[in-house]
Amino acid sequence: MTNDGLDSGSDGAAPPVVLKLGGSLITEKDRPETLDDERLAAACDAIADALADGTVDRLVVVHGGGSFGHHHASEHGVSTSAGTRDPAAVADVHGAMTTLNRAVLDRLRDRDVSAVPVHPLSLAARPDGAGGDLDLPLSSTSTLLGEGFVPVLHGDGVATAGAGVTVVSGDELVVELAAGLGARRVGVCSIVPGVLDAGGEVIPAVDSFDAVADALGASDATDVSGGMAAKVRELLALDAPAYVFGADGLGPFLRGEDAGTRVD
Ligand code: IP8
């Protein structure tokens, strides 16, 4: 079922838009704990404009790890499938992600966006172990939305049965949020303008993984949670239409237009 915006969300209110800001967009991915301030500011401007214009009224933002989370996760050998029981490693990964989260929140609030943090490490679990389903309770996010806030989640550590703490990617959170909140549209904004074919051209629409599997390579910089192939797989599983686009696509996406590649 595709939720085209006419239905109510799971709490009876208008369905939200779920937007991921990729770590590659908002950080300098190859320089540890370094923001890409210009791109982050432009993304926050687009979000603030869309909320001020009313083109989006309910929005959940998720951001990735970029050079914050991924750097620490790979130093400690932690990924979506490999966990740690070292509390210092958990503190490093989570601490870097909350630092990045604060930077995003500050810039959104500077633009009068009612952005508030939701930290997955404090909420979520993989009760069936690494590789198992993510349990992400949505009551706080959905109540915050209903109260007029813009919840801002992020890739993080997640309690994982039998493995300690593994990584939960922003993409996985996007899928859970979109499904659980009955999202109207889903956007994944990164530094690539969409899903690219073998010749480097943006594929306008993807409706099956097999059709694009050959063209999807791994991410160049350190990325413990899978690159574009994993993103496309996860987005294809959604009911809501999802779009993968670059920085230039963010404004159009938030205005309800097509941007980059539609994954549906
Ligand atoms: O950048 C991963 O989130 P992603 C976050 O969305 C960490 O894959 C903690 C590495």
Q: Is there an atom of ligand 1 within 6 Å of 92 CB?
A: no
Residue whose C-alpha is closest to residue 190's, from 8, 62, 13? 62
The pTM for the full model equals 0.92
**Which residues have a Cβ under 8 Å from the Cβ of 47 and sit 6 or more positions away?**
19, 59, 61, 108, 111, 113, 150, 250, 254
Ligand 1 mean position, distance from CA 168 (Å): 6
Residue 51 to residue 243: CA distance in whole angstroms: 19
Q: In this structure, what DSSP letter does residue 55 have?
A: S
Ligand 1 mean position, distance from CA 22 (Å): 9
Sheet holding 125-126, edge to edge: 125-126, 156-160, 164-168
Q: Is there an atom of ligand 1 within 6 Å of 169 CB?
A: yes
The CA-atom distances, in angstroms, between 53 and each of 5, 48, 138 are 18, 9, 27
Domain ranges of the chain: 17-263
Q: Using the atom order of ligand 1, give the atom closest to the CA of residue 73.
A: 10
Mutate-to-test residue for ligand 1 from 154, 189, 234, highest number of ligand atoms within 8 A of CB: 154
- Structure confidence at residue 42 (pLDDT): 98
How many residues does this entry show for the chain?
A: 264
Mutate-to-test residue for ligand 1 from 27, 28, 90, 97, highest number of ligand atoms within 8 A of CB: 97
Residue whose C-alpha is closest to residue 93's, from 120, 125, 115? 120
Residue 118 to residue 109: CA distance in whole angstroms: 15
CATH (one of 3.40.1160.10, 3.30.360.10, 3.20.20.70, 3.40.630.10) for 17-263: 3.40.1160.10
Residue with tokens 């790890």: 65
DSSP state letters, 20-45? EE-HHHHB-TTSTT-B-HHHHHHHHH
Ligand 1 mean position, distance from CA 156 (Å): 6
Q: In this structure, what DSSP letter does residue 224 have?
A: T
Ligand 1 mean position, distance from CA 243 (Å): 19
Question: pLDDT (tens digit, 0 to 9) for every residue of the chain, 264 residues total?
Answer: 333 333 444 456 789 999 999 999 999 978 999 999 999 999 999 999 999 999 999 999 999 999 999 999 999 999 999 999 999 999 999 999 999 999 999 999 999 999 999 999 999 999 999 989 999 999 999 999 999 999 999 999 999 999 999 999 999 999 999 999 999 999 999 999 999 888 889 999 999 988 788 777 544 444 454 577 878 888 998 999 999 999 999 999 999 999 999 999
Residue whose C-alpha is closest to residue 28's, from 115, 90, 100? 100
